[in-house]
Structure 1
Amino acid sequence: MAGNSDPLTPRAKLAVTAGKAVAAASRAAGRGSGSVIGGKIALRLDPDLLARLAQNLDVILVSATNGKTTTTRLIAEALRAAGPVVSNALGANMPAGITSALAGGSEAKFGVIEVDEKYLAGVARDTDPKCIALLNLSRDQLDRAAETRMLAENWREGLAGSKAVVIANCDDPLVVWAASSSPNVVWVAAGQMWKDDAWSCPSCGGVMQRPGEDWFCGECGFRRPTPTWALSGDHVLDPHGSAWPIHLQLPGRANKANAASSAAVAAVFGVPPQVALERMYQVQAVAGRYDVVQFQNRDLRLLLAKNPAGWLETFSLIDPPPAPVILSVNARGADGTDTSWLWDVDYTRLTGHPIFVLGDRKLDLAVRLEVAGQHFQVCENLDQAVQLCPPGRIEVIANYTAFQDLRRRVGN
């Protein structure tokens, strides 16, 4: 548990100081938060710094393809009921960003850390987490992410024998396969809307059977484990069968699922579900996501959707037609440069919405919408799109760098 002894060597303290100085210089130059460059410098000066910073913390790691930034925020809010928390709340989720975040939390008891899927095994090795939350795995950044089965295998090998309590979504076969190597797993029925990455058995390659909400492999017997926590409508069911109402300002089924997993994590540290779920109400927006902003005298709601699973969940929470929808897609480094994933998204769900398209890859998106039989207009920029939108709150859906571009334009 967290203590007050100082785990930092003189070299580590120098690394932390240098990292903070570089981060401050980066911020002053208007180049973002500086957390990544600061963390990189600090790790170069002391390669063991992440492990040293984690030494006096109860560390919780959160990883998934979708929802990890939001879930990290929800867990952090819930655990503040039990002590001070340090967290990488802005989503810098690779070792440099994580190191930067932990360097700022000398008084903290808990470290609630979002981790990029590809780095989970390494960060778990460095930080000796008490708890790891695994939410989902689906295709993302096609040009450079290993396919999902390989990521699940990477998690499985990296977590084998881990002493951490693993909180895992039993509705995602890839997550179940990854978590099954761990000796201490708590299964949460958090649901899975996007199923297209889990039709073949991760254990043997056989065809997955999916009767109702259940799933199993007809060939090797790999099957959905029995959950001890579950999302049920607007409630979380705990291991005793008690139903606790979910209090959220964040919209949509996916965020209720995130809250269910977060409540299960909080319980590991003695925070009861009622307290955890009430504290989650504080979270209104997460790094700009779900924010409603005023721009050109219009209300715009900013929604992030980075991959097919994310777009599917986002379509389920937008206002009904004829609410106008602006879609923006880029394909820069942080997005992945391959836009073929657009063909995996069911854009017929936007039927009846006036659609406006922008972003670096607006023409790729336009072709996809054309094939889906949607009516849309291609626009040069956000200003033009907003001027063309008919009345009503505007739903703005964008992938990662397009979302950052939009936030800068609206001053968010």
Structure 2
Amino acid sequence: MAGNSDPLTPRAKIAVTAGKAVAAASRAAGRGSGSVIGGRVALKLDPDLLARLAQHLDVTLVSATNGKTTTTRLIAEALRAAGPVVSNALGANMPAGITSALAGGSDARFGVIEVDEKYLAGVARDTDPKCIALLNLSRDQLDRAAETRMLAENWREGLAGSKAVIVANADDPLVVWAASSSPNVIWVAAGQMWKDDAWSCPSCGGVMQRPGDDWFCGECGFRRPTPSWALSGDHVLDPHGSAWPIHLQLPGRANKANAASSAAVAAVFGVPPQVALERMYQVQAVAGRYDVVQFQGRDLRLLLAKNPAGWLETFSLIDQPPAPVILSVNARGADGTDTSWLWDVDYTRLSGHPIFVLGDRKLDLAVRLEVANQQFQVCDTVDQAVQLCPPGRIEVIANYTAFQDLRRRVGN
């Protein structure tokens, strides 16, 4: 825990040094940040390294299908009010990437760590977190991610009896069921726009009743807990009923929800909501997401959306027609190779916008748009799409590897 500055064992020091050297070599070769390969090498040399690196930190873990990277950034900014923070800010969220990030934070007091949903239980075992934020669970990477209830069950079993304070979204039944095995939960009413993964009760399989913002199972009585924190319009309501204004440079309702959960986490560490929310204003973009870049004399706003829930939230950010929209979809390993999720997205929300379609799976997307009666043009490159776009800021929505491709091309 914080204050306990046990030096690393000789073996751990060798592992850290070797990992940093491999990461540096990988960067020099132009193969990305090197954090994952560096972490893998370090863990090979010392399998207990993650636990050793975390032992002097007050650790917060952040997991969800959508919003992990952004929420991790917001919490890290808030906690810097109380001391130095180490974080895997670039989103390398499996054990190797997390190990790499922590190896660079020897003087930190807090560790704020984004964790891939499938690895949460194991990373929680290794890092002895003081706080775990659980935001949402929805369908994603259909070819390899477990069905959402299985993920929730994995969380529920892995976190049972955890000493951590769990900050959990009261509006997502899967998250509530997963968190309910823990003795110390702070419930946040963060909202849930996408409900299509939560119509059956995760506890008994019964049909979920969803009147208004409430939810309950009519068969076993599993129901929405009473939240102590809540997102209310442009404010966060704290457990005392005080309303604190949210000032973010990041757009949209989903990011206000992320800020509400982040304020609840910050309070666990003694940072008051006003201070936490003011510090969150510093975050302008997160690993390129929400950045507005200039390309071929046009303004492009880059938006990442990886699954139906993410696309639904992202569509709500787009101004009224006629803002032009570029959509790009790939189906490489990091995206999940199954594109059937495109059929779960309501593309009629883009009616009236000129739409341009890119990416490895542009024809899959074109078929989906055709069925939704949308007007669109298929393009080979972002350069071609931008040249065809009518005036106005261009909204660019892409899934994971398509987003990375676009960032490389437009120089972000």
List per-residue Cα deviations over 1:169-206 (Å, max 9, x = no partner). 00000000000000000000000000000000000000
Tell me how far apart the structure 1 counterparts of residues 253 and 317 of structure 2 sit (CA, whole Å): 8
List per-residue Cα deviations over 1:345-368 (Å, max 9, x = no partner). 000000000000000000000000
- 1:281 CA displacement: 0.1
Kept in 1, the 8 Å contact 2:77–2:280? The answer is yes
Kept in 2, the 8 Å contact 1:7–1:52? The answer is no
Residue of structure 1 equivalent to 2:38: 38
Kept in 2, the 8 Å contact 1:322–1:354? The answer is yes
Partner SS state of residue 310, structure 1 = helix
- 1:3 CA displacement: 1.9
Partner SS state of residue 282, structure 1 = coil
Between 1:316-325 and 1:327-336, the stretch displaced more is: 316-325
List per-residue Cα deviations over 1:126-167 (Å, max 9, x = no partner). 000000000000000000000000000000000001000000
Tell me how far apart the structure 1 counterparts of residues 331 and 17 of structure 2 sit (CA, whole Å): 35
Residue of structure 1 equivalent to 2:249: 249
Tell me how far apart the structure 2 counterparts of residues 40 and 156 of structure 1 sit (CA, whole Å): 27
- 1:4 CA displacement: 5.3
Shift of the 152–4 alpha-carbon distance from structure 1 to 2, 3 Å rule, reads closer
**Number of residue pairs matched?**
412
Kept in 2, the 8 Å contact 1:362–1:378? The answer is yes
Kept in 1, the 8 Å contact 2:142–2:336? The answer is yes
Tell me how far apart the structure 1 counterparts of residues 231 and 6 of structure 2 sit (CA, whole Å): 41
Tell me how far apart the structure 2 counterparts of residues 263 and 7 of structure 1 sit (CA, whole Å): 32
Kept in 1, the 8 Å contact 2:186–2:227? The answer is yes
List per-residue Cα deviations over 1:75-117 (Å, max 9, x = no partner). 0000000000000000000000000000000000000000000
Tell me how far apart the structure 2 counterparts of residues 160 and 90 of structure 1 sit (CA, whole Å): 29
Q: Which runs of 4+ in 1 moved over 3 A?
A: none
Aligned pairs (5 A) from 1:393-412: 393-412=393-412
- 1:383 CA displacement: 0.2
Residue of structure 2 equivalent to 1:72: 72
The answer to whether residue 358 in structure 2 is matched with residue 358 in structure 1 is yes
Partner SS state of residue 22, structure 2 = helix
- 1:320 CA displacement: 1.3
Kept in 2, the 8 Å contact 1:328–1:398? The answer is yes
Kept in 2, the 8 Å contact 1:7–1:53? The answer is no
Kept in 1, the 8 Å contact 2:148–2:197? The answer is yes
Tell me how far apart the structure 1 counterparts of residues 382 and 7 of structure 2 sit (CA, whole Å): 49
- 1:318 CA displacement: 1.0
List per-residue Cα deviations over 1:205-241 (Å, max 9, x = no partner). 0000000000000000000000000000000000000
- 1:7 CA displacement: 3.6
Tell me how far apart the structure 2 counterparts of residues 33 and 143 of structure 1 sit (CA, whole Å): 27
Tell me how far apart the structure 2 counterparts of residues 45 and 128 of structure 1 sit (CA, whole Å): 21
- 1:6 CA displacement: 3.0
Kept in 2, the 8 Å contact 1:7–1:55? The answer is no
Tell me how far apart the structure 2 counterparts of residues 94 and 247 of structure 1 sit (CA, whole Å): 31
Tell me how far apart the structure 2 counterparts of residues 216 and 247 of structure 1 sit (CA, whole Å): 33
List per-residue Cα deviations over 1:40-71 (Å, max 9, x = no partner). 00000000000000000000000000000000
Tell me how far apart the structure 1 counterparts of residues 396 and 257 of structure 2 sit (CA, whole Å): 23
Shift of the 6–410 alpha-carbon distance from structure 1 to 2, 3 Å rule, reads same
- 1:121 CA displacement: 0.2
List per-residue Cα deviations over 1:319-339 (Å, max 9, x = no partner). 210000000000000000000
Tell me how far apart the structure 2 counterparts of residues 7 and 188 of structure 1 sit (CA, whole Å): 38
Kept in 2, the 8 Å contact 1:304–1:398? The answer is yes
Tell me how far apart the structure 2 counterparts of residues 8 and 267 of structure 1 sit (CA, whole Å): 30
Tell me how far apart the structure 1 counterparts of residues 107 and 343 of structure 2 sit (CA, whole Å): 48
List per-residue Cα deviations over 1:226-271 (Å, max 9, x = no partner). 0000000000000000000001000000000000000000000000
Partner SS state of residue 112, structure 1 = strand
Tell me how far apart the structure 2 counterparts of residues 291 and 78 of structure 1 sit (CA, whole Å): 21
Partner SS state of residue 82, structure 1 = coil
Tell me how far apart the structure 2 counterparts of residues 409 and 15 of structure 1 sit (CA, whole Å): 36
Kept in 2, the 8 Å contact 1:216–1:223? The answer is yes
- 1:5 CA displacement: 2.5
Partner SS state of residue 281, structure 2 = helix
Kept in 2, the 8 Å contact 1:319–1:395? The answer is no
Kept in 2, the 8 Å contact 1:7–1:56? The answer is no
Tell me how far apart the structure 2 counterparts of residues 113 and 379 of structure 1 sit (CA, whole Å): 38
Partner SS state of residue 100, structure 1 = helix
Tell me how far apart the structure 2 counterparts of residues 318 and 58 of structure 1 sit (CA, whole Å): 38
List per-residue Cα deviations over 1:346-404 (Å, max 9, x = no partner). 00000000000000000000000000000000000100000000000000000000000
Kept in 2, the 8 Å contact 1:152–1:178? The answer is yes
Tell me how far apart the structure 1 counterparts of residues 263 and 320 of structure 2 sit (CA, whole Å): 30
- 1:2 CA displacement: 1.4
List per-residue Cα deviations over 1:259-308 (Å, max 9, x = no partner). 00000000000000000000000000000000000000000000000000
Tell me how far apart the structure 2 counterparts of residues 159 and 283 of structure 1 sit (CA, whole Å): 30
Partner SS state of residue 174, structure 1 = helix
Tell me how far apart the structure 1 counterparts of residues 317 and 125 of structure 2 sit (CA, whole Å): 37
Shift of the 157–7 alpha-carbon distance from structure 1 to 2, 3 Å rule, reads farther
List per-residue Cα deviations over 1:3-33 (Å, max 9, x = no partner). 2533410000000000000000000011000
Residue of structure 2 equivalent to 1:139: 139
Tell me how far apart the structure 1 counterparts of residues 247 and 376 of structure 2 sit (CA, whole Å): 36
Kept in 1, the 8 Å contact 2:4–2:55? The answer is no
Q: Percent identity over the alignment?
A: 95
Tell me how far apart the structure 2 counterparts of residues 5 and 197 of structure 1 sit (CA, whole Å): 44
